[in-house]
Amino acid sequence: MEKLKLEFEFKKMQLEAEREKIQADKEVELRKLEVEERTGIRRGNGDKDNKGCNLPEFVEEEAEDVFIQFEKVATIKKWDKSDWAILV
């Protein structure tokens, strides 16, 4: 009987953790949408809607150059620094 109680509690904890992760993911997505709406930047579409932004495609080997270019564009466009992590 004690084993069943422990298994039940463990399962309950797993479900709660999963629910919290789903909620956190949802909040991140909502934040991304808010930032995209405010800046006009749409990510995850091959940047086809972002031609006027001059944002380079992220290539890991060229990360430093990408970040420098991103910072220049973000500064020129006066994007809030609090949005940069989501946009980059």
* Domain chopping of the chain, boundaries: 2-87
* Measured distance CA(54)–CA(69) in Å, rounded: 8
Global confidence as pTM:
0.51
pLDDT of residue 18: 95
Residue type, 72: K
Q: What is the pLDDT of residues 40-55, one digit of tens each?
A: 776 554 444 444 465 6
Mean pLDDT by 10 residues, the chain (88 residues): 90 94 90 79 51 64 85 86 82
**Nearest residue to 56 via CA among 80, 82, 88, 32:** 88
The two three-digit tokens of residue 7, written as one number: 């298994």
